[in-house]
């Protein structure tokens, strides 16, 4: 076959280390724009980046030539560096080590976009922990609860 044809969508979710509420409303949109641009650097199409004070959701279209892990590694590392160099915080900013990745078909994209767009309203009713567990269960992803969240000692 002379060409590669694909249309793959993923929702990636990652949290501030220890799920601390460190992403302030005053610079949140700017951070999400930075994350979106970093994802685009890896030749992915960004549909939306949004979240609240302790975590971020990204909906993107990706291509077979690059792994989601590579995309997320770059976006997380460079965006945390951006936060730390911005002077917005007195304490060091870090993302938690891992991330969630959930794939969708074309027919789901509008629904997932709206879900991500309405994160602030959504989290008035449900915590990030509950949301993340629900996503893992809905996608039938096996996990060991003792390794799911790394809380501070």
Instruction: Determine whether domain 8-147 maps to CATH 2.40.30.10.
Output: no
Domain definitions of the chain by residue range: 8-147
Where do we find the tokens 């992915």? 44
SS (H, E, C) 34-55: HHHHHHHHCCCEEEEEEECCCE
Where do we find the tokens 């911005």? 86
pLDDT band at residue 153 under the 50/70/90 scheme: very low
Q: Which residues on adjacent β-strands are paired with residue 104?
A: 9
Report pLDDT digits (tens) over 31-57. 999 999 999 999 999 999 999 999 999
Cβ neighbours of residue 25 closer than 8 Å, sequence gap 6 or more: 53
Report pLDDT digits (tens) over 18-34. 889 999 999 999 999 99
Structure pTM? 0.92
């Amino acid at each position: 076959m002379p060409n590669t044809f694909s249309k793959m969508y993923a929702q990636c979710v990652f949290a501030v280390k220890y799920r601390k509420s460190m992403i302030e409303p005053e610079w949140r949109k700017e951070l999400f724009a930075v994350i979106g641009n970093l994802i685009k650097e890896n030749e992915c199409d960004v549909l939306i980046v949004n979240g609240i004070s302790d975590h971020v959701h990204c909906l993107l279209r990706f291509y077979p030539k690059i792994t989601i892990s590579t995309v997320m590694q770059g976006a997380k590392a460079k965006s945390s560096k951006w936060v730390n160099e911005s002077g917005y915080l007195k304490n060091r900013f870090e993302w938690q080590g891992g991330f969630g990745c959930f794939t969708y078909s074309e027919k789901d994209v509008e629904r997932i976009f709206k879900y991500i767009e309405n994160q602030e309203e959504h989290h008035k009713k449900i915590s990030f922990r509950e949301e993340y567990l629900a996503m893992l269960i809905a996608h039938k992803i096996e996990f060991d609860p003792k390794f799911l969240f790394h809380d501070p000692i």
